[in-house]
Structure formats: structure tokens, C-alpha cells
């Protein structure tokens, strides 16, 4: 694992991602630099970026209210199912990185 991957892994762990998941993400990005470019494009897509921020905020609110993270994520993602489907192509690199698009 290169230095860049090491830093990415440590950054992800600092954000609360498990060690195994952080390592898997770093490995995928190292093996597929095109995926990193696709993820960067998400940041430039205002509509998708706003949707992801809205989802993250609502998940955090539910966690603060005492709901386990997995349940909060499922509930919030269900709420935004149609918007996620609308942006499916743009979100595919992110879903692949998270192991959801295989």
C-alpha cells in the first residue's frame, strides 16, 4: 500500500470508517484511479452533492436521537429512494466503492 493509500485509510478511519472498510476503499481507489476521478465529479454535481449532504444530515440527526446508524441510514435512504434512483448513474462509483453496486 502506497503512502497516498495509507493517508486515505487513516483519514477514513478518523471519520469513523472501520479499519477493514477503510483499507478496502483505499485499495479500490489505488487499483482504479478512474473511480477517484468519477468520485471527484460527484463533488462538482451540485444536485447530487446537496442530496448527499441532506441524507448525511438526517442520518446524523437520527443517530443523535438514539437510533442505531444502520437503521437511520436505511430509513433515510428509503425516504430519498426516488432521488437516489434519479442520480443512479452519477452515484454508481460511490455505490461501487461502498460495495453496493456489484
pLDDT in tens, 48-97: 889 989 998 999 999 999 999 889 989 999 999 999 999 888 888 877 77
| Distance between CA atoms of residues 35 and 39, nearest Å | 6
Cell numbers describing residue 69: 446508524
Q: What is the DSSP letter of 15?
A: T
Please give the Cα distance from 88 to 65 (Å, whole number).
29
Query: How big is the chain by its Cα radius of gyration, in Å?
Result: 14
Residue listed under C-alpha cell 438514539:
66
What cell numbers appear for 96 in the block? 461501487
Confidence of residue 102 (pLDDT cuts 50, 70, 90): very low
Amino acid at each position: 500500500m502506497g503512502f497516498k493509500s495509507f493517508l486515505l485509510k487513516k483519514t477514513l478511519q478518523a471519520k469513523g470508517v472501520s479499519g477493514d472498510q477503510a483499507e478496502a476503499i483505499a485499495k479500490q481507489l489505488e487499483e482504479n484511479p478512474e473511480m477517484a476521478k468519477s468520485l471527484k465529479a460527484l463533488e462538482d454535481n451540485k444536485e447530487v452533492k446537496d442530496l448527499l449532504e441532506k441524507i448525511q444530515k438526517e442520518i446524523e440527526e437520527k443517530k443523535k436521537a438514539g437510533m442505531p446508524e444502520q437503521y437511520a441510514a436505511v430509513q433515510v435512504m428509503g425516504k430519498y429512494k426516488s432521488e437516489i434512483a434519479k442520480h443512479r448513474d452519477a452515484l454508481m462509483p460511490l455505490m461501487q466503492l461502498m460495495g453496493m453496486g456489484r
